[in-house]
Amino acid sequence: MIRKTIKVSNITCAQCAKSIESYFEPMDQIDAKVLVTSKKVIFNYDESTYDTDAIANHLRTIGYYPILNNEALLKAKKRDIIDLILAGIFAFPLLWTMFVHLGIHMYVPSILMNGYVQWAIATPVLFYVGRRFFQASYHQIKGKNLGMDTLVVMGTSAAYLFSIYQTISHTLSGASGMPDLYFETTAVIILMVMIGNYFENRVKERTSDALQALISLGAKEARIRKNGQEVMVPVDEVKKGDIIIALANEKIPLDGIIKSGKSYVDEAMITGEPMPALKEEGSQVIGSSFNMMETLEIEVTATGSDTVLAHIIQTVEDTALIKPKAQRIADKVASLFVPVVVMISIVVFFLWVFIIHGGNALSVAFAPGIAVLVISCPCALGLATPTSISVGSGIAFKEGILYKGGEFFEVANKITAIAFDKTGTLTTGEPEISDIIGDENTLVYAASLEKHSNHPIAKAFVDACDEPLKEVTSFEVMIGKGLKGKIDGKWVYVGSLKLMQELKIEVKDLSYQTFLSQGKSVFFTAMDQKIIHMIAIEDPIKDTAQDVIAELKRRSITPYMITGDQDITAQYIAKKLGIEHIFSEVLPHEKAEKIHEIQKQGHIVAFVGDGINDAPALKMADVGFAVGSGSDIAIDTSDVTLMTNDLGLVIKAIDLSMATLKNIYINFFWAFAYNIVMIPLAASGLLNPSLAGIGMGFSSIMVVLNALSLNLFKFKPIQKGEQA
């Protein structure tokens, strides 16, 4: 069995996933799992039985368009645009005639009022432009997963058939005047749904594929030693046990153990931690991390799918499959509404045939039976969710919140636990000086040395110094210890306690132990064999973090911290913020496991993170919040992006989602109130078709006006003060 991922252009919701999975389920030697958010299908299949082209043909058979290359992607976009333009061209003249049906006096060319002309105009919209809805509905019905596509087909087809019946009956009877036609309803419903799908697809396209971005992080080539010479070879040709060479300022190609050399390695892209790690002989290194200082010779310990990066990629992919995607509210409603309406229509037809007219008036019975389906056209129902979400998303964007999909609105109000990454999420991710013990006027000596270093901590020294920096000569990096150089003719050293001990300089002030217990890094500056000051560096907590944690507790939402940082730092930060539940020293792929553990306790879990290492957890969580200043991959795998560093946006996003969900439910009330009143009238044969058209329009208008009322929503300020 081999694994193959195929992008599909028109996957839009959980119903699409069910349709595709149920189609492939009875087939031997193949299974399909759908990633709704990234619009992909993961296939595991026997390559002796299937190939990519055969699988693609199966997808096309059920109305889904596989994207196998850039040419296919361009074709899919072109097809969507052509269908949308055709729907608009044909729907416009029919919309024009609708005003006459509603009793509004305005000029309409007489030819457009002819039933046969309207029939000819509506036919290509229903059967050509709307073909995707028929294909999807067939497989939804076959898989017993009725959704919005089925409701669209039922409503448009009923309006179309009833209008044909009215047109022919009017001609045969020789009656004068204009029959009640609904051809415009058929065209407009398809046009509106397609406009919604088009914009949804474009929005999803603008977010890059997180998995592809992860894959692109990996090195393509590795430098290995062969026959005494260094040669570049593709990473795929490197085997376990090979010796690879990573030069300074170069990406380390694969996981391994250092056999020779000492350097600082930036692992922030994998671990999320801003401080480069000292790596020396015997240390393990991670493929795709960045070698900052000196040449390293590394024995490869993992290749292909066994590397840390490959595990992260697989975890992101697998957790996307595990995570249950919320079915759209409209699809949930449709799954109940469609069979009920169809049943009512059938019952009404037989009541008219066998009871009201004693079996002698099929033509009379046909009218109220079809009228029930016509009256149930999903105009308002189709507008209920997208209008509210569009308005809610617009409000959110102004606040710095970017929603990635409608599913968030259904889940956010149920959140009972929120887990936070530490570095870059609860903290700023930018180390700064917190304490200077000693002569602060001598900071200029340390800053002048650090100016020549590319270590992230160096920036903290330079930023904290207000004086002009001094000239440095004989500068040297003492890897794993610190820096040295001559300033004003004197040797100056900046480094760790280990460096001071090697220089035989006594450290009399033991307060450094207190700083270490707080998870801070401590550095000493020495000149003339004497320590002139001690500096503590920390990653400061964000200003809004404490208030947000307190607010979550007030709402009975349990805060967690999940971090790859050392336990002593995690405990200190958590205590300051009032977080009791802490997971520290967690590897990237283990973060998703921790989220799953919390979920198994019965919690609906949100996760807030910013790094590549957070991607699996963001996928596993019921709701993923990505801090906008973080990595593109974290943003792409999340459900919500916070476009500033203000953690208060998490609270605002939840509050707005709850208001939006309430608005959606009110929209459904208006949509159903219309049906509750009109369906009995249609069933009884008392309904005036013109009144029904006005009612349908009124229902849709009420839905739009109610959605616009969301603009009146006001965010509540987050309380300041002590922990709850």
In a shared domain, residues 110 and 174:
yes
In a shared domain, residues 139 and 105:
yes
Give burial (CB, 10 Å; 0-12/13-18/19+) of 416: middle
pLDDT at 144: 67
The encoded tokens of residue 138 equal: 């067939």
In a shared domain, residues 471 and 599:
no
In a shared domain, residues 527 and 549:
no
The encoded tokens of residue 531 equal: 């320590």
The CATH number assigned to the domain holding 19 equals 3.30.70.100
Evaluate whether residue 103 is within a structural domain: yes
Measured distance CA(618)–CA(562) in Å, rounded:
12
How confident is the model over 118-138, as a mean pLDDT?
87
Instruction: Pick the catalytic residue from 421, 539, 614, 636.
Output: 421
How confident is the model over 410-437, as a mean pLDDT?
88
Evaluate whether residue 298 is within a structural domain: yes
- Write the pLDDT tens digit of every residue in 14-58: 667 777 888 888 898 898 888 765 678 888 888 888 888 889 888
- Write the pLDDT tens digit of every residue in 161-214: 878 888 888 888 777 766 777 787 788 778 877 776 676 555 445 444 444 555
Q: Which domain holds residue 404?
A: 400-428+542-655
DSSP-H helix ranges across 352-455: 362-375, 379-399, 407-411, 443-450
pLDDT at 582: 93
The CATH number assigned to the domain holding 416 equals 3.40.50.1000
Evaluate whether residue 91 is within a structural domain: yes
How confident is the model over 515-519, as a mean pLDDT?
83
pLDDT at 149: 73
In a shared domain, residues 415 and 440:
no
Measured distance CA(320)–CA(592) in Å, rounded:
11
Evaluate whether residue 329 is within a structural domain: no
Q: What is the mean pLDDT of the chain?
A: 79
Evaluate whether residue 330 is within a structural domain: no
Element (H, E) at 581: strand 581-583
In a shared domain, residues 315 and 231:
yes
Give burial (CB, 10 Å; 0-12/13-18/19+) of 648: buried
C-beta separation of 224 from 233 below 8 A: yes
Give catalytic status of residue 53 as yes or no: no
Radius of gyration for the chain, computed over Cα atoms and rounded to the nearest angstrom? 33
Measured distance CA(663)–CA(378) in Å, rounded:
18
pLDDT band at 107 (very low <50, low <70, confident <90, very high): confident
- Residue 620: pLDDT above 70? yes
- Measured from the Cβ of residue 263, the count of other Cβ atoms closer than 10 Å reads 25
Relative to beta strand 530-538, strand 558-562 is unpaired
pLDDT at 718: 80
How confident is the model over 238-255, as a mean pLDDT?
87
pTM (2 decimals)?
0.61
Measured distance CA(103)–CA(21) in Å, rounded:
48
Domain boundary among 287, 303, 320: 320
Evaluate whether residue 361 is within a structural domain: no
Q: Who has greater pLDDT, 286 or 306?
A: 286
In a shared domain, residues 181 and 80:
yes
How confident is the model over 534-544, as a mean pLDDT?
89
Evaluate whether residue 179 is within a structural domain: yes
**How many folded domains does the chain comprise?**
5
- Residue 324: pLDDT above 70? no
Measured distance CA(447)–CA(460) in Å, rounded:
9
Element (H, E) at 270: helix 268-271
pLDDT band at 242 (very low <50, low <70, confident <90, very high): confident
In a shared domain, residues 420 and 437:
no
Closest residue by Cα to residue 191 from 331, 338, 65, 83: 83
pLDDT band at 323 (very low <50, low <70, confident <90, very high): very low
- Residue 559: pLDDT above 90? yes
- DSSP symbol at 541: B
pLDDT band at 104 (very low <50, low <70, confident <90, very high): low
In a shared domain, residues 259 and 113:
no
What residues are paired with 670 via a beta bridge? none
Q: Who has greater pLDDT, 622 or 269?
A: 622
Calculate what percentage of the chain has a pLDDT beyond 70. Answer: 78
In a shared domain, residues 512 and 605:
no
pLDDT at 498: 86
- Residue 629: pLDDT above 70? no
The CATH number assigned to the domain holding 459 equals 3.40.1110.10
Question: Taking the mean position of all CA atoms in its chain, how far away is CA 648?
Answer: 20
Strand order across the 284-285 sheet: 229-234, 221-226, 243-246, 296-300, 256-260, 284-285
Evaluate whether residue 210 is within a structural domain: no
pLDDT at 634: 58
Q: Give residues with Cβ within 8 angstroms of 634, minimum separation 6.
A: 609, 610, 611, 612, 614, 615, 618, 626, 627
In a shared domain, residues 477 and 598:
no
Residue 234: half-sphere exposure toward Cβ, Cα within 13 Å? 3
Give burial (CB, 10 Å; 0-12/13-18/19+) of 152: buried
Question: Taking the mean position of all CA atoms in its chain, how far away is CA 304?
Answer: 27
In a shared domain, residues 93 and 32:
no
pLDDT at 683: 78
Measured distance CA(519)–CA(577) in Å, rounded:
14
C-beta separation of 467 from 444 below 8 A: yes
pLDDT at 317: 58
How confident is the model over 663-679, as a mean pLDDT?
78
Give burial (CB, 10 Å; 0-12/13-18/19+) of 445: buried
